[in-house]
Every structure is written in structure tokens, then in C-alpha cells.
Amino acid sequence: MSEKKLEQKKIASVKTFKKIMADHFLQIDAAARDPGRKVAWCTSVGPAELLQGFGFEVYYPENHAAILGSTRTATDYIPYANAAGYSPEICSYLTADVGAYMQGFTPLTKVYGIEKIPKPDVLVYNTNQCRDVQDWFMWYSREWKVPCVGIETHRGVGAVTKVHIDSIAGQLQDLAGKLEKIAGHPLDMDRFKQSVELSRRCSELWDKVLRAGTAVPSAITFFDGTIHMGPAVVLRGLQVAVDYYQELLVEMEARVQNKVAAVAGEKHRLYWEGMPVWGKLRNLSMQFLELQTCVVASTYCNSWIFNQLDPDEPFESMARAYTELFIVRSDAVKEDYIARMCADYRVDGFFYHNARTCPNNSNSSYGMPQRLTERTGKPHLVIDGDLNDLRCYSEEQAKTNIEAFVEQLAQAT
Amino acid sequence: MKLFCGIDVGSAATKAVLITGSLEVQGRGLCPSGADFSAAARQVFDAALAGVGAGEADVEAIVSTGYGRTNVDFATARRTEIDCHARGAYHHFKRAITVVDIGGQDNKIIQLDAAGKCLKFAMNRKCAAGTGAFLEEMALRLNVPIDKLSKMAENSAAPGVSIGSYCTVFAMTEILSKVRAGVKTEDLARAALVSVAKRLLETQAIVTDIVATGGVVAHNPVLRDILKEILKTEVHIPPHPQHIGAFGAALVAASEQKE
């Protein structure tokens, strides 16, 4: 059997993407070495805008952990954290990042020439991602003897009420008081509001970019999204992210207009629920390409859209944005969301990644795939794996399951 | 005579089936997969051809399946073992069925509608629980040749003995503690097979009759009764259950040729 040589459709904006991501890391590295500047670590959906309002350079360790994953170095370092009492069953972002630190390793050295991760002046979390981020930051807080502060989220939220918003907005205001002492100066309200406004604009543009996946054929894949979401995570609140997504959107709109398919000969369209398998992005992307199946949308890439942000009500709108997000909602709300996405993106089936060390961001353990299949009539596939720990991933099993799922989809058409 | 071939390169064994355009089986081949999947595929293909007295030129199309499906460089197409076991089993039982394939390293549960279309499927999780590999470990621990496990289980007089853990390592520890407690080998052999059935029970809800395929069923006939008891449904075994994947692949080869 002769194999066809397949090529992924390149996104031209990746050149700008690489430059602004490099600038981001180099700027934080410089700030960490400058006694006159302050660095804050922030969880990926933490209060970045508030930190920017205080003038902190903001570093996102989840992004660093994802780089450990995508460079396939995470699995080498996870065991060191395991041996230090951090179980193989907990977040492999945490274990990879802490394990790498223990061994004096960062992938930033090879990519950007940065010697080590930036030592922070404060660690700021929002437990909306999970409780593990708090444990993660507390480890560094003890290691470096720097303060660790944050927001305790609500979980399993059905309708978002004033009680929820008041509670989180109140915590944000309390947090501002703590940050003022660490920063050594009051919050710059104008800068804070500007950051909220830029974050919202970044979100709106990123949303539009992702909606290129509603086109048939889709102009973008989930795998493209996992790369190009970088600025929405680590540069939101800054003009550079807005500029980047304007450029990327132009490219995506041109693709849609010209019916350029991200997956040549697109036959099937899937929805990805759960975390990426960072170390296998390319392999999975190539397999779907070969199967002429496009993963057109995901919960994950859409999790950095905060259109609720409003500079006129910065605390309240941040509270709303960071409480209305998918990950902290009830299963009923999550199911409505995915069903809506299924219709909007015209998907033929659902792919669930059951990430062993990320139960908080895996939605296949309480019957949701079965309920959504019954509701939408679209079949589903659940793959066991992990975001970073490749010891939990059987590539052969995953490949066979994906291939068989596409065979099943082909029978249905 | 035009022939069509299916080759199933499984984790433990490689199988070949040759059929005619009217879907009649003409020959079969079987050998251990070993470490060289390409060589195993060639070996079973040649064996099947030799059995029929045919040559390679008589074969119109060859479809490979199984773990080593991509290693069969002389195949004209490939399909997953899920599709092939489904097609092979449905050929013998043309109604809504659930195909249960217990292989060397994985299990598959495939629900088909009355027309033979796949409604859903599931495979075992990453571990070897409930697979042929689990039984091999158990046989080793019990010091019983793997091909004698079924016979021993048939002689069990205490069907209530069970292995609780689904982890193969934990299950072996459990076996050791039962051996120490004086539980008979026959009862432990049966408990190992019951454990396989219980892993299937938790993989996917089964709502139709079962058609059991694969090497484990072929070599452990007592498993049919155990599956029936644990899964509470009728269990059918097609002819040559270990070759059903290869047979399904041969059916694909024949059908694609017609198209």
C-alpha cells in the first residue's frame, strides 16, 4: 500500500506569533533580573488585568508547563515531583513544572536562550482552573518565600447570580489591597481599565478567529487553535495581542472567502472536548489530516474568550467573565454549551480526551458523552490520555480508536 | 479463481483468510505475530495460498487489519480490527448484535444495528485487564499451560471464588493470597476467566445478543458460559472465532472490488 505524503496547511501569521511570544518571554526574563521591576505569576484564567494595572510583568506557568508538554520533556521531569510527594495522579502541569525546576531545566533555554524561569514577587491564582494551581503556586511560595494570594472560585455553577459576582468581585477588591502592598504603590485605575478593555478586544478577535471553524470546509483546526491561542492566554490585556489577532483574523477570513480547507478534502467534522495531548499534537493532527477529518472546534480553545469584560465595571465584569467560563459550570450548562457548539460548527461527532491527571477539565466520567450523543444524535469517542504525562497515553490504542471512529462516521454518511 | 484476502496482524497471532467473490472461505493461515509483523503477514498469506493451491496472482485484493495492519506492505487497503470483527461477525449473524472480541492485548465491544452498521464501540482502557495478556499472566502464576486454563476452569467446583482487582499486578497478588489460603487451582482458573467477563461488563452496556470472537474465546470454550452468566445475554460463537477479523478484512477486500 503506497502512502500519500500529506502536508499541514501553514498559517502565515505564525511568523508574527513566534516573534511576540519570544518578546513576551524575553521581557519577563529581563524584568526578573531587574530589581526595579516586579514579576507576578498568574494562573491562565487568573486576574491578569488587575496585575497589569499594578504594573507587574505577568508570567503564566501553565503556558510553561504546556511548553514542557509540547517539547515532550514533561514526562522526563514528572517523576522528580512524584518522588517529592506530588502524586502521579495530580495535575501533570504541576508535576512537570515543579520536577523541571527541581532539575534546573526549562525548555525556554533552548527556544529563547533564557537560563531559568522568572522568580516572582507574588504568585496569584484563581482556582477556577482547579485546586491544583493553588498547590502548585504554594510549592513555589515555600521555595522562594514569596507571597501567594488568589481567588477561590465557585464550582458547579448553574445560573450565575449576583451572589456569585459579588463574592468574586469582593475577592478581587481584597486582592487589590494585598497587591498594593507587594507592588509598593496603588492600583493605576486607568491602566487597569485599559487592560480590561484590551482583554475584551483580544477575546472578541480570538472568538472571530475560532469561528473560521464554522465554515465548510473549516479554515482552522483545533490543533492550529492550541498554538495560536498563546497570545490570548499570555498577552491578553496588551495591545500586542489585539494587533496579532487582527492579523490572524484577516488571514482566516481570506481562507473562508476562498474556501481554503485546513484539512484538504474535509469529509468529517469533530468537536474536541478536554485538554490537548501536548506531546502528541503533531501526530494527532497528521492522523486527522490523513483521515480527512477536521477537528473544527473545542471547548479548550474557546475557554479564553471573555466578552463580558467591561472597563466601566472592571471588578464586576472580571468576576462575571471568570465565573461564566465553562470549566466552573454545572454539567447541565456545559451540555447546553457543547450542544450549541455542535450545531454552530456542524460537527459530525464528539471526541473526548479523558486526561488522567486533569479530572477537572475532563468531562467524560459522569455520563456526559452518552447524554450528548442521545441529545444530538452525534456519536462520540473517549480516549484515555493526558495533557503532559505520556506514561498515561497509549498511542496505538488512540490511533486505532480514532481510525475506527472515522470508519463509523463514514458508515453513517 | 478470483480470491480475496484478509490479514489480521494481532498482538499475539497473525491470521489470514482467503475467500472467493461469492464469499466462500477457501483457506486460512495462522502463526504467532512475533517481533516481525511483515514476516508474519507474509507467512500466513503464503500458508493460506498453499492450502488452496493458488498463487499470489490469483488474489485480487488484500486488506490488512489488527495492530500490525500498517506493516503489511503488500496489502491493497487497510481497516481497523473494529470494523473487520464487526463485518466478520455480522456475516454469520445478520441481525442487531454486539460483537465482543477478546484479543491478546485488547478487547472490543461493538454494537451493530440490524443492518450491520456500527452504532458505537469501546475498547478496554490502557491496562491489560480482561485481555489475553491478563490470562497469560494468571496462567503463569498458577503454573498452568495457557491452553489448559479453560479445561481446568471447567472442573471448578466453587464458582463463587473471585478476583476483585482489575489491575493485573494486584490480581496476581490476590491469586497468591488465595493460593496460600488453599483455594484450588481449578477455582482460580475459573475466577480468572470470570474476571475477563467482568471487565467486559463495565466497558459498555450490552443490549443485544453477543457474538464472541477472537483468540481467547477460541481457546477457552468455557468462557462462553461464563460470559452468558455474567453479561446475562445469549452468547454465540461464530465458526473459527480467532479468524473473524481476517475474515472481515477479506469481506472488505471482496466488497471494495465489487464497488
pLDDT tens profile A286-318:
999 999 999 999 999 999 999 999 999 999 999
pLDDT tens by residue, A51-60: 999 999 999 9
Alpha carbon B155 to its chain centroid, in Å, reads: 24
Using CA coordinates, name the residue in chain B closest to A397. Answer: B126
Contact B122/B138 with Cβ under 8 angstroms? no
What element of type H or E holds B121?
strand B118-123
pLDDT tens by residue, A86-129: 999 999 999 999 999 999 999 999 999 999 999 999 999 999 99
Rounded to the nearest 10 degrees, how much is the dihedral formed by the CA atoms of B79, B84, B86, B92? Answer: 150
Across the interface, do B106 and A397 touch by the CB < 8 Å criterion?
yes
Nearest to B126 among A382, A397, A411 (CB): A397
Please tell me the distance in Å from A10's CA to the nearest CA on chain B.
Answer: 27
Contact A203/A304 with Cβ under 8 angstroms? yes
Is B72 an 8 Å CB contact of chain A? yes
Right CATH number for B3-83+242-258 from 3.40.190.10, 3.10.129.10, 3.30.70.20, 3.30.420.40? 3.30.420.40
> To the nearest 5 percent, what fractions of chain A are helix, strand and coil?
55, 10, 35
What is the greatest pairwise CA distance in chain A? 69
Using CA coordinates, name the residue in chain B closest to A394. Answer: B126
pLDDT at A3 over 60: no
Is B37 an 8 Å CB contact of chain A? no
The pLDDT value given to residue B128: 66
Three-state SS at B15: strand
Q: Are strands B3-9 and B13-20 parallel, antiparallel or unpaired?
A: antiparallel
Is B77 an 8 Å CB contact of chain A? yes
Structurally, chain A folds into a number of domains equal to 1
Fold adopted by B95-237: Nucleotidyltransferase; domain 5 (3.30.420)
Contact A59/A233 with Cβ under 8 angstroms? no
Please tell me the distance in Å from A394's CA to the nearest CA on chain B.
Answer: 6
Domains B3-83+242-258 and B95-237 share a fold: yes
Is B126 an 8 Å CB contact of chain A? yes
pLDDT at A369 over 80: yes
Percentage, residues of chain A above pLDDT 90:
97
Is A7 an 8 Å CB contact of chain B? no
Q: What is the rounded average pLDDT of the residues A198-222? A: 98
Domain positions in chain B are 3-83+242-258, 95-237
Using CA coordinates, name the residue in chain A closest to B111. Answer: A408
Using CA coordinates, name the residue in chain A closest to B124. Answer: A397
What element of type H or E holds B141?
helix B132-142
Contact A28/A114 with Cβ under 8 angstroms? no
Across the interface, do A400 and B125 touch by the CB < 8 Å criterion?
no
Chain B partners within 8 Å of A349 (Cβ): none
The pLDDT value given to residue A2: 53
Chain B partners within 8 Å of A401 (Cβ): 123
The pLDDT value given to residue B5: 98
How many angstroms separate the CA atoms of B85 and B183, rounded?
37
pLDDT at A5 over 80: no
Is A147 an 8 Å CB contact of chain B? no
Please tell me the distance in Å from B65's CA to the nearest CA on chain A.
Answer: 10
Chain B partners within 8 Å of A400 (Cβ): 67, 80-82, 123
- A2 domain residue, yes or no: no
Across the interface, do B83 and A404 touch by the CB < 8 Å criterion?
yes
Please tell me the distance in Å from B30's CA to the nearest CA on chain A.
Answer: 22
Q: Give the cell for residue A127.
A: 482556582
Nearest to A404 among B67, B77, B82 (CB): B82
Chain A partners within 8 Å of B122 (Cβ): 382
Across the interface, do A400 and B81 touch by the CB < 8 Å criterion?
yes
* Reported confidence tier of residue A8, pLDDT bands at 50, 70, 90: confident
pLDDT at A65 over 90: yes
Across the interface, do B78 and A397 touch by the CB < 8 Å criterion?
no
Residue type at B217?
Answer: V
The pLDDT value given to residue A32: 96
Q: What is the rounded average pLDDT of the residues A207-220? A: 98
pLDDT at A413 over 80: no
**Is the bond into A217 cis (omega within 30 degrees of 0)?**
yes
Is A412 an 8 Å CB contact of chain B? yes
Domain range for A55 = 14-412
Please tell me the distance in Å from B99's CA to the nearest CA on chain A.
Answer: 14
Chain A partners within 8 Å of B99 (Cβ): none
Is B4 an 8 Å CB contact of chain A? no
The pLDDT value given to residue B163: 86
Percentage, residues of chain A above pLDDT 70:
99
pLDDT tens by residue, A16-53: 999 999 999 999 999 999 999 999 999 999 999 999 99
Contact A326/A361 with Cβ under 8 angstroms? no
* Reported confidence tier of residue A4, pLDDT bands at 50, 70, 90: low
Size of interface A-B (CB pairs under 8 A): 43
Q: Which of residues 105-124 of B touch A (CB under 8 A)?
A: 106, 117-123
Q: Give the cell for residue A292.
A: 480527512
pLDDT at A360 over 70: yes
CA atoms within 13 A on the CB side of B242: 22
How many angstroms separate the CA atoms of A136 and A46, rounded?
14
Across the interface, do B82 and A407 touch by the CB < 8 Å criterion?
yes
pLDDT tens by residue, A135-158: 999 999 999 999 999 999 999 999
Across the interface, do B121 and A408 touch by the CB < 8 Å criterion?
yes
Please tell me the distance in Å from B245's CA to the nearest CA on chain A.
Answer: 14
Burial A81-116 (b: 16+ CB within 10 A, else e): bbeeebebebbbbbbbbbbbbeeebbbbeeebebee
Across the interface, do A407 and B77 touch by the CB < 8 Å criterion?
no
How many angstroms separate the CA atoms of A335 and A324, rounded?
14
Contact A206/A229 with Cβ under 8 angstroms? yes
Is A396 an 8 Å CB contact of chain B? yes
Q: Which of residues 170-209 of B touch A (CB under 8 A)?
A: none
Series of mean pLDDT values for 10-residue runs along chain B (259 residues): 95 95 96 96 97 94 96 96 97 97 88 96 76 87 89 89 82 89 94 90 91 89 91 95 97 83
User: Any idea which residue has 475560532 for its cell?
Assistant: A210
Mean pLDDT of chain A: 96
Please tell me the distance in Å from A82's CA to the nearest CA on chain B.
Answer: 21
Phi and psi for B63 in degrees, rounded to 5? -115, 130
Whole-number Cα distances in Å, A37 to A32, A34, A56, A241, A263: 7, 6, 7, 22, 45
How many angstroms separate the CA atoms of A256 and A218, rounded?
8
Please tell me the distance in Å from A403's CA to the nearest CA on chain B.
Answer: 7
